[in-house]
Amino acid sequence: QVQLQQSGPGLVKPSQTLSLTCAISGDSVSSNSVAWNWIRQSPSRGLEWLGRTYYRSKWYNDYAVSVKSRITINPDTSKNQFSLQLNSVTPEDTAVYYCATYDRNYKYFDPWGQGTLVTVSS
């Protein structure tokens, strides 16, 4: 079955870039039947979908309006993984970040990565 393994730093300085990676096993990042997502969770904002990348003969991205000017989600076909970059972070970006698979047919998030607590602080 599909498994997701997250990696990346847990501490980022204000104004810098948050970067996380999600390694996929059991499926291909180029699969036509899923989308690859980033979601974050904080006490103030709850569970917040940030965006996704997916392949349907070519690559597509969708991003939440709240982060659209600062976010990039990229697939890496050579390593079968995808990444999150969030620029110009502030303390309000402190959260647990999850990667998650979105099933195209049944329209749910499953499975999820293990989560990474990212703290924005100097």
Partner 1 sequence: DIQMTQSPSSLSASVGDRVTITCRASQSISSYLNWYQQKPGKAPNLLIYAASSLQSGVPSRFSGSGSGTDFTLTISSLQPEDFATYYCQQSYNTPLTFGGGTKVEIE
C-alpha–C-alpha distance, residues 76 and 54, integer Å: 12
**103/122 with CB nearer partner 1:** 103
Site for partner 1 in 2-61 (CB under 8 A): 37, 46-49
**78/108 with CB nearer partner 1:** 108
Residue 65 lies near partner 1 (rule: CB under 8 A)? yes
Least gap, CB of 16 to partner 1 (angstroms): 25
Task: Report the interface residues with partner 1, using CB under 8 A.
Answer: 37, 46-49, 62, 64-65, 98, 100, 102, 106-115
